[in-house]
Amino acid sequence: MTDTIPPMPDAPPPAPPRRPRTNLVIIGAAAAVIAAIIGTGVVVVQSSNSGDSKPAATATTTPAPGDDSDADTAAAADPEPTATYEDIGADSFSIKLKTTSRQCFGSAGCNVTVEPDLTYLGVGDIDPDAVYEITYEVHGDESGPVIETAELSDQTSLNFTPSIISTASAGTKLSVEITDVTEQGA
């Protein structure tokens, strides 16, 4: 048996049929749409944040002697308004006591745990950067008034230690009054 080699074809084999490039067009269009959406989102976020930010620097020019063209513009510029806050005093708040626990011992009286419940009475704003020490007296303890201090910061954050009051009887009424308000560092 002899090995025979097939004869060489007269023409090269035909090229496989070309697939249309529609897949590439679809992928490219999808990428462009996604990029446009992301770009629009970035612009919207930056523009909404730019209302809160201040310019990094402002340039001013000094006019040449005899040049009054920029004088009117400089005079029209207003300085930034400064925020004004209400003066805070003992009469700026009302205070009540919130009872968090009570343990009574018959005729021996009760141990009562109370916390201050403050309400701001002013009409103006409180300085958000200030820290106020609010001193108050709790009346009704069998050994006399209990003086406590609460700290108000960030306009609404009140830090205090609950007071434990020993009353002479279960019928003893507790009362509270603010005696002083001071701004720390003032």
Predicted confidence at residue 103, as pLDDT, reads: 95
Q: In the sheet that 146-153 helps form, which strands lie side by side, from edge to edge?
A: 157-159, 146-153, 131-139, 175-183
pLDDT tens, 72-96?
554 455 566 677 777 888 888 999 9
| Boundaries of every domain in the chain | 90-183
Q: Are 180 and 155 in contact, with CB atoms under 8 Å apart? A: no
* Its pTM surpasses 0.85: no
Contact 116, 97 (CB under 8 A): yes
Q: Which two tokens stand for residue 172?
A: 């003893």
- Which structure tokens are listed for 109? 């009286």
pLDDT in tens, 16-70: 666 666 777 777 777 777 877 887 776 666 665 554 444 443 334 445 555 555 5
Taken as a whole, the chain contains a residue count of 186
